[in-house]
Structure 1
Amino acid sequence: MDVIVLGGGLMGTASAYFLASRGARVTLIERNRVGAAATVASFGNIRRTGRHLSQLPLAHRSLRLWGEAEKMLGRDVEFRATGHIRLIFDEGGLADMRTYAEAAQPWGLELDELGPREIRARFPGLGPDAIAASFSPQDGSGNPRLIAPAFADAARKLSADIVEGADVETIRHTGSGFLVITSKGSFAAECLLNTAGAWGARIAARFGEEVPLDARGPQMGVTEPLPHRILPVVGIWTRDKDYGAYLRQVERGNIVFGGAAERVPVDLDPGHAAADPMRLPGQLRAVARLLPSIAQVAVIRTWSGCEGYVRDMLPVMGRSATTPGLFHAFGFSGHGFQLGPGVGDAMAELITTGRCETPLDDFRVDRFSRA
């Protein structure tokens, strides 16, 4: 079986690797460099907490693969299962956390509820005004700059062809397969997998499948290195988007942070988003609620990227509803990093066997036309 994968982010490179490991002949086509769009803009959060319940089976599948990534890919992608804590500062947040924890339990996600005293004892310096927190000990973080290139290199070792810097000019369904004409040549295959991220809706539209997707850029930042003291990824349960911040400390000591700043619209041509320094003070005030000591630290870099947000905040995954041999996996709406390995594994299973052990029905591309 020949498969063309369009898009070289985490979803595309993971799909290429798992397809090649199942014996498919794979060509991955990327318009820029592998991992240069949404993946590299990611915060690096590997969390299951707070996900739409129908995503949890895929998230569990992916977490298992994150745990195997170093052995599987032959390099350290800095996955660390240090846990994920979400702090709570008001009764509304506490009610939301408890409702979610109860709903998620049948889906295989167990959340520990921590009181103020336990937060102080286990995680000193975090959220001194927090009234409670949830904690998921198996979750953690990974390095967004390492994971897509690692999957691409591992796919190459399995004879996948990774074509970078290739602008797609034409995509045609030939009846027996697909022809993709690019600035670096023409490629033909029996199957086509659309993992083009924020550009994925454009590709789906070529085949009569309309997806309500907006391209937006998050704002991320990183501080100077500090003594390494914060192990878990830190987030918040809140109904106020102005306080929706998150942070993690990498082993080198830098604190990476994001959230609490409106994601800005991005023009897909050229598809670059810039961080806005005017939004940084408000963002840091929200981060300081989680970690007050960050107010005394220098921010050394900010950045943004291009992510695809679907109207219902669920991804598009699975078979095309119009075109045999076409498959989609895009629109992960700013929370796809944790899912990446599981998405690649699930799509490879679906394409090569015609079935998938992980339920994908909620992510069907035709859910909008059916609605």
Structure 2
Amino acid sequence: MDAIVLGGGLMGTASAFFLARRGIRVTLIERGRIGAGATVASFGNIRRSGRHLAQLPLAARSLAIWNQAETLLGRDVEFRPTGHLRLIFDIDSLNDMRAYAEAARAQGLSLEELAPAELRTRFPGLGPDAIAASFSPRDGSANPRLISPAFADAAARAGASVVEEAPVSDIRTTNAGFEVDTAKGTFRAATLLNCAGAWGRAVAARFGEDVPLETWGPQMAVTEPLPHRIAPVVGVWSRAHGPYLRQVERGNVVFGGAVDRVRVDAEPGFASPDPARLPAQVAAVLKLVPALANVAVIRQWSGCEGYVADALPVMGASGTTPGLFHAFGFCGHGFQLGPGVGAAMAELIATGQCETPLEDFAITRFAA
């Protein structure tokens, strides 16, 4: 069997790696540079708490791979299972957390509920006004700049062909499968996997499958380096788009959330941050860590992410075209899922079935 994977972000590179490990001849095609799209704009959060319950089996599969990433890929991608702390500031959010924790327990996710005194003892200086928190000790973070190149290099060592800076101009079905015309030539394979991220909708539409997907860019920023004091990833239980942050080992604090995302056009395919929104974002972050009040913000950035209308990704086989598969539209929270997505899609393509339930993510849910 041979396969073409479209898209060189985390989903595409992980899929290429796991397909190659299964002995499938793989060509990975990326319109720009490997990992330079949504992946590199990511916060780097490896979070299970708060996910749609249907995603938790996939998240569990992915977490197991994150724990093996350095061995699998032959390099450190800075995965650190430092835990994920979510602060709670009101009773409604506390009730939401408790209901979610009860439902998630059946899917193997156990959240610790921290009362104010325990929160102050274990995580001093974080959320002084919080009335409670949840803590997921096995979650954490990794470096978005390292992970896609690491998977791509490992895929190449396993036999995959990696083609960068190759925008796609046409895709055709043939008696033997698919032909993909790119700036680097025409490629052919029996199987096509659409991991094109924000451009995944356009690829699916070529085969009569429309997905209600919009493209938005996150508003991200990072501070100057500081003494390392914040071990876990920190977020908020909130029905609004709350702030989140983490401190990297060098000492910089990366943060995002709390303000509206930026609209992205398909070309050039990435958003620019809006400096006018930074004060509101900083104010929200200071509620989590007041000690950051006099720290310098040294850089802002954005990117391009695909958001599906029902906030669930598109994963699985095409409903119209044999040999076509999709894995895109992860709605800004795909970083944790990426390795699991690659393993699941490789299993599905190679065997025709998948041990991880994917039915809720089928593209056929939009067929009507």
Fold match, TM over 0.5? yes
Aligned ranges 1:68-217 → 2 under 5 Å? 68-217=68-217
The one-letter code of the counterpart of 1:95 is: N
Q: Which residue of 2 aligns with 1:335?
A: 333
Contact 2:215–2:265 at 8 Å: present in 1 too? yes
Alpha-carbon distance in structure 2 between the residues aligned to 1:27 and 1:196: 14
Give the SS at the match of 2:266. coil
Deviation at 1:246, TM superposition (A): 0.2
Alpha-carbon distance in structure 2 between the residues aligned to 1:154 and 1:148: 10
Contact 2:262–2:273 at 8 Å: present in 1 too? no
**1:320 and 2:318 aligned:** yes
Aligned ranges 1:204-353 → 2 under 5 Å? 204-241=204-241, 244-353=242-351
Give the SS at the match of 2:134. strand
Q: Which residue of 1 aligns with 2:361?
A: 363
Contact 1:82–1:233 at 8 Å: present in 2 too? yes
The one-letter code of the counterpart of 2:252 is: N
Deviation at 1:175, TM superposition (A): 2.8
- C-alpha deviations, 1:129-181, integer Å up to 9, x for none? 01100000000000000000000000010111100000101100113200001
Q: Structure 2 regions of 5+ residues with no counterpart?
A: none
Give the SS at the match of 1:366. helix
The one-letter code of the counterpart of 1:86 is: R
Deviation at 1:258, TM superposition (A): 0.4
Deviation at 1:369, TM superposition (A): 2.0
Contact 1:46–1:141 at 8 Å: present in 2 too? yes
- C-alpha deviations, 1:29-83, integer Å up to 9, x for none? 0000000010000000000000000000000000000000001000000000000
Alpha-carbon distance in structure 2 between the residues aligned to 1:212 and 1:240: 22
The one-letter code of the counterpart of 2:336 is: Q
Alpha-carbon distance in structure 1 between the residues aligned to 2:35 and 2:311: 22
Alpha-carbon distance in structure 1 between the residues aligned to 2:323 and 2:269: 28
Alpha-carbon distance in structure 2 between the residues aligned to 1:369 and 1:311: 14
Q: Structure 1 regions of 5+ residues with no counterpart?
A: none
Alpha-carbon distance in structure 1 between the residues aligned to 2:270 and 2:50: 28
The one-letter code of the counterpart of 2:210 is: E
Deviation at 1:368, TM superposition (A): 1.4
Give the SS at the match of 2:39. helix
- C-alpha deviations, 1:195-241, integer Å up to 9, x for none? 00000000000000000000100000000000111110000011333
The one-letter code of the counterpart of 2:286 is: A
- C-alpha deviations, 1:328-348, integer Å up to 9, x for none? 000000000000000000000
The one-letter code of the counterpart of 1:128 is: P
Contact 1:92–1:239 at 8 Å: present in 2 too? no
Give the SS at the match of 2:245. strand
Deviation at 1:294, TM superposition (A): 1.4
Deviation at 1:267, TM superposition (A): 0.3
The one-letter code of the counterpart of 1:25 is: R
Alpha-carbon distance in structure 2 between the residues aligned to 1:313 and 1:248: 24
What is the number of residues matched between the two proteins? 368
Alpha-carbon distance in structure 2 between the residues aligned to 1:171 and 1:127: 51
Alpha-carbon distance in structure 2 between the residues aligned to 1:163 and 1:73: 19
Give the TM-score, by structure 2 length: 0.99
Alpha-carbon distance in structure 2 between the residues aligned to 1:121 and 1:75: 35
Q: Which residue of 2 aligns with 1:10?
A: 10
Give the SS at the match of 1:355. coil
The one-letter code of the counterpart of 1:312 is: D
The one-letter code of the counterpart of 1:202 is: A
Alpha-carbon distance in structure 1 between the residues aligned to 2:166 and 2:244: 35
Alpha-carbon distance in structure 2 between the residues aligned to 1:5 and 1:295: 45
Deviation at 1:270, TM superposition (A): 1.4
- C-alpha deviations, 1:6-30, integer Å up to 9, x for none? 0000000000000000000000000
- C-alpha deviations, 1:181-200, integer Å up to 9, x for none? 11100100000000000000
- C-alpha deviations, 1:295-341, integer Å up to 9, x for none? 11000000000000000010000000000000000000000000000
Give the SS at the match of 1:43. coil
Give the SS at the match of 1:78. coil
Q: Percent identity?
A: 72
Give the TM-score, by structure 1 length: 0.98
